Amino acid sequence: MNTTSATVARPRLGHALPTRRNRPGVRVIPTIILLLGAVYTLLPIVWVITASTKSSGELFTSGSFTFGTGFWDNLAQLSAYSGGAFWKWAGNSLLYAGGGAILSTFVSATAGYALARYNFRGRSLVFTVLLAGVLIPQITLAIPQYLLVSEIGLSNSYWSVLLPSIINPFGIYLACIYAQSSVPGDTIEAARIDGGNEFRIFRSIALPMMVPGLVTVFMLQFIGIWNNFLLPFIMLSDESKFPLTQGLYLLLNRGTGTPVLYTLAIMGALLSIIPLVALMLFLQRFWRLDLISGSLKG
Amino acid sequence: MTTAPTTRVGRTRRRRTAGGALAPWAFLSPAAILFVLFLIIPIGYALYLSFTQLKVAGGAFGKKQQVFVGFDNYVASLTDPEFVASLGRLGMFAIIAVPLTLGLALVFALLLDIPRVRATRFSRTAIFLPYAVPGVIATLMWGFMYLPSTSPFTAAFTSLGLPAPDFLAAPEIFGSLANIAIWSGIGFNMVVMYTALRSIPAELYEAARIDGANEWTIAWRIKIPLLSPALILTFLFSVIATLQAYGEPQTLRSLSNSISYSFFPLMKVYRDAFALDNIPGAAATSVVLALGTLLISVFLLRGLQRRTFDS
């Protein structure tokens, strides 16, 4: 339908450049297909919002997508579960994702800047090693990481999840691409002629220029760590150190015997997606995801 | 070390090196130290473990010792019917999940790029949203929507008087798992493709539009060919992510009996290492998986290089 309307409209326009303004009418089918996509992605989120309002009895008896009466009860029960374990997990997730992403962004920024703005021996080797690092499956690393971390007595500690999360080869790569396009070599050169030392040049000239790209590196790594399951699953056995993903897995797993825990798991799922969705919506305008598609040309 | 002379030469000859040869390494050092500690040493250790076995040496009172056994673990891993079966199940899952994720992402990206389409901001944000939802949480939400006693789909089938499919039973489970991966993956891939589309100069389409090409032709003849680097990249990312599928099937196990302990390769590796205490075997299997991933990646990146070189 959209194609027919377009072919009808076109001859009349003739020579005029088809801009948005002089071609009225909405393309209906593409709009509908996109809205259907949105319905599909929002469906489970709407389901979890409505399900979180149901008491454990209502969950199995009332119809889907209707509201129940148990929202505050569920919230109170989840908060009270195992001495406030849920909020402890939420705090842990924030610590792992926030702390890990800040450190990771810093490490990526310095390394990316070095790769972008210096020509040194071994630079291409560093690039090759980095690329290989992007491609190594996590399980290949996680088991020996666990054994090594146990060896030095750090297993089941906050460090065992935090430290491996700091190194992010893809983040370094993105920081490098961004530095190449946003930090002009001439500016650095001019600062050198003025006698600035390398670290001050980086801190006061290059780093501020790299901020938009670094926000993206931070967000990608934050979400990556927040969503990670395998690493904490292998490293941690102490429930009080679990992040949200592992904590909710535990709830669901225990729920198999006691369906009351299902409502808690559903409430937990809702609460744990709210902050990330809010953060994403808020930071959307600052994202530079074109970096990822732009990285192809690098 | 040869750093001092190259510094002086660099200062006069090459502009970019003017800061001294040590500065880039100083900037690289935090990353390099962490890279060695958390990537290179673990990989080396995994390789070492994969060629050894714990064996009791020296008679009845002997201690267990790490003994070099050559490729024994690799042979055992590759000939283990359980591993082969888990690869088969993963392949089944990937064949559904990867093309549908990328196909839908491409369709949405192309539609977003057409002029005069409404509510694009809303649709784009909504479709991207699942990217922020952890796989475990996505599985939890979909899992309850699959579970007959809470499923809206089962309810819909029943109210229509039709027999409802069991989303958590044997053949359907592949579609159910793939659906979670598709739901989680469309948004990110769509945004990568969409941003790549936006970087194509608009004059290319304007000229085609004046010549009377419709959006369909423009998409097939101009946009998709120019997108091929982005398509290869997203394909690569999707394949890597699929090979590492772990959190989703592991979580869905709580609700489904048709997911075994060794349903996917990674679940088998985890089980070998921690439940069966066969660390060398797990190391060998994970090295095999890493090599497989690297081979696929190198193959795809070669294609990418040729594409970008040609254009």
How many angstroms separate the first and last alpha carbons of chain A?
40
ipTM of the complex: 0.86
B72-310: CATH topology is MetI-like fold (1.10.3720)
Domains within chain A, CATH numbers bracketed:
25-69 (no CATH), 79-297 (1.10.3720.10)
Q: Where are the domains of chain B?
A: 3-50, 72-310
pLDDT in tens, A35-51: 999 999 999 999 999 99
Task: From B197, B200, B177, select the one nearest B189 (Cα to Cα).
Answer: B197
How far is residue B258 CA from its own chain's centroid? Answer: 24
B129 near A CB under 8 A: yes
So what's the pLDDT on residue A296? 56
- Region for residue A122 given its phi and psi (left: phi exceeds 0; alpha: psi -120 to 50; beta: otherwise): left
Q: Percentage of chain A surpassing pLDDT 90?
A: 44
Angle, vertex CA A170, rays to CA A103 and CA A213, nearest 5: 70
Q: Residue B246 is encoded by which pair of tokens?
A: 């772990």
Residues in chain A closer than 8 A to B198 (CB atoms):
290
What residue in A sits closest to B272 (Cα-Cα)? A143
Residue partners of A73: CB distance under 8 A and separation at least 6: A55
Task: From B175, B25, B90, select the one nearest A126 (Cα to Cα).
Answer: B25
How close, in Å, is residue B74 to chain A by CA atoms? Answer: 14
Cα–Cα dist A85/A95, whole Å: 15
Of the candidates A65, A198, A223, the beta carbon closest to that of B19 is on A198
How many contiguous H segments (helices) and E segments (strands) does chain A have?
Answer: 17, 0
Residues in chain B closer than 8 A to A33 (CB atoms):
107-108, 111
So what's the pLDDT on residue A294? 62
So what's the pLDDT on residue A257? 67
Contact B192 A30 (CB under 8 A): no
Cα–Cα dist A243/A237, whole Å: 11
Task: From B105, B77, B72, select the one nearest B292 (Cα to Cα).
Answer: B77
In tens digits, chain B (311 residues) has pLDDT values of 333 333 333 343 444 444 567 888 999 999 999 999 999 999 999 999 999 988 776 666 666 778 888 899 999 999 999 999 999 999 999 999 999 999 999 999 999 998 888 888 899 999 999 998 999 999 999 999 999 888 889 888 888 988 888 899 888 999 999 999 999 999 999 998 998 888 888 888 888 888 888 888 888 888 999 898 889 889 988 988 888 889 999 999 988 888 998 999 999 999 999 999 899 999 999 999 999 988 988 888 887 777 665 54
Cα–Cα dist A161/A229, whole Å: 11
How close, in Å, is residue B26 to chain A by CA atoms? Answer: 9
Question: Residue type for B17, please?
Answer: T
pLDDT in tens, A128-153: 888 888 888 777 888 899 999 998 99
Burial class (CB in 10 A: 0-12, 13-18, 19+), A110: buried
Task: From A286, A152, A276, A162, select the one nearest A214 (Cα to Cα).
Answer: A286
Q: Residue B33 is encoded by which pair of tokens?
A: 């130290």
pLDDT in tens, A250-292: 988 887 667 778 888 999 999 989 888 888 888 777 776 677 7
Contact A113 B209 (CB under 8 A): no
Phi, psi (degrees; rounded to nearest 5) at B25: -70, -35
B170 near A CB under 8 A: no
Torsion of CA A158, A159, A164, A168, to 10 degrees: 80
What residue in A sits closest to B301 (Cα-Cα)? A296
So what's the pLDDT on residue B89? 95
Burial class (CB in 10 A: 0-12, 13-18, 19+), B6: middle
Residues in chain B closer than 8 A to A159 (CB atoms):
none
Are the CB atoms for A219 and A287 separated by under 8 Å? Answer: yes
- The residue behind tokens 């990285």 is A295
* Segments in chain A below pLDDT 50: 1-22, 298
So what's the pLDDT on residue B39? 92
